[in-house]
Structure 1
């Protein structure tokens, strides 16, 4: 097959998980419920942090940013998949596909950076508690988030521009439920060596580098916790890290599982199913992990929901008054 210039490409076909029509309503209902749970859960975390002045700290500032990114992360893939199932169409235009890939990479890398920043925040809080407020100043917190956004945007732009230079054959079927970077590169008919090198370099620099920083931070945290004499102090220090460590484990374990499975199997449909873990399931579970394991979040959520219920009750009473 002769490769065509990328300017001639008008659309791709997203094959999704299954070709069986009988399974489409089940898949639609499952992903719609997970998406709504993700948006609602992360939105409640953001509202709880914003409404409670006790949570205006670096730890919860980063958490609210992580929740916002998780909403955006899931929103780049699931709505389009739901729309395709509802309309019984697998078509995605070339422009939308590149845009979806750009934002997916952006929010995936941003998730990675924020988890690293949150690990550094816990490291400073436990290993240098007396200097915590000085080190983790509002200016530094805002700068860390801003730098994370800039680096993520630049990396995503680089990956997208590398894909734009590729030529594609007449087979434009993507065996996935979204325009995943590796799948796009595999479809190309032109030389993909530069793309693969950039992907590998980015995986080592961003993925392994961030994970190394997180593991180093927690190794120092564990050493500091062992130095605490009182059992109550140890429990308090561990409880402040438990939620974040659970989210980190979930995110990296599912991500590694996807890439290990893609290396060990040639079934692209199995890779698509494995990708659901870190693209949909992990953002959905994050609010539950933080709300169940964090007393401050539970208290803030109860206060926020209590105020919302009270306001609704007052409005209903006013409406009943003549």
Structure 2
């Protein structure tokens, strides 16, 4: 998809699931929300499989997720990307952060952390005697509070190190960590806005720090409401009553649109009719901040 003058569209969004199982309802809400946002701005919508954690991956899950997206009419504007194929970019960014002093090698394991789980900076100024390098951490002791204005959640401010101190960007098993990989891959794809679930909003300050330390322009942000059951419990991919597997697709899509504040009129019973209505009526002002329980009312 290109703009009328032949130039690339200004907006590029994406959906980036992990291949740890079948596409679940929370992911469907994120996929639909990111797709509608991109289409409403006449932009491009991409899909990237975040396959950087082989021990947690389920064989065939990536292909199944892509097929499920297509069954709901969610087809990306470019071939599906795989995060594992960006290893050279990840390593280059990692080395840049090490060379600049923004990151450092750490010899601590999880059992070395205090009870509160916040890393105390043991290796910030070099490995203690007898410790071997095993992971790489991002420095947060010299970071400032990061603030951004989310398109749905409003202004959000937090310190990148608040949740766990200096955070890991290269794991002890040699795998690139999410906080670094997602920044590098979004920048490489020229993503202009990250649309995802609000359960990931507290990762944003850490990712903003990575963007700044790499000299990259960060995207805009839009965090969609967390979906819960009627008791306020976040829906899990392990729930047997997940609408993606428990209901016909048109009903599952209606529930996803309901979670986004865009439930189609009662007469829109078919999947393509519902999606066409949502495309014609999409307005981010209708999206609730959440959490949202979508099973309160019968379909």
Is TM more than 0.5 here?
no
- Compute the TM-score of the two structures, normalised by the length of structure 2: 0.27
Larger Rg: 1
**Greater percentage in helix:** 1
